Amino acid sequence: MKKLFLLISIGLVAGLYACGGGKTDNAGKEKDSVEKTEKDASTGATSREGEVRQLTLADFKSYVMDTATMEYLGDRPCVIDFYADWCGPCKEMSPVVERAAAKLAGKVDFMKVDVDAEGELAAMFGISSIPTFVFFAADGTPNIYTGMVSESEFMEMVERYCLGKK
């Protein structure tokens, strides 16, 4: 019985560690990044070029889409990353999104939405799994992808859905 309890305990600890519990370094960096961009979003100011902006429902209605008319308000294409702080795959995709934002600064806007804090905004898109990415073309046409991908696949999706490259 003691052996069974020990095996189950080891399995649970290993499972938690594998699901992102042991990646405190990245989580701390992401938290700093989120706090930095939240300041921009709370003031309504546009984030600096090449940064991922934290998005609230109010910001979405002001800068991305008028929900009453469903009119796209952006000046250029954008990518919205729906994530949660506790989500391991979301933490893995965060640096990929940040590098894409830096690489495509001035061409595509990158934003992210914490689904726990902005449940109403997540519900508008029917988000049930994360990470989920919504790619808006310049004309406002949305394309949605759910799950993790490699950095090259993510860049291909941004180029295809946002910039119209094939």
- Specify whether the CB–CB gap between 107 and 76 falls below 8 A: yes
Q: What is the C-alpha to C-alpha distance for residues 66 and 140, in angstroms, rounded to an integer?
A: 11
Q: Is residue 19 among the annotated active site residues?
A: no
| 8 A C-beta contact, residue 114 and residue 85 | yes
- Which residue in 19, 78, 87, 162 is the catalytic one? 87
User: Both tokens of residue 102?
Assistant: 């830096």
Q: Tell which residue, 49, 57, 112, 51, has the closest CA to residue 79.
A: 112
Pairing of strands 52-54, 142-146: unpaired
Tell me which residues are annotated as active site.
Answer: 87, 90
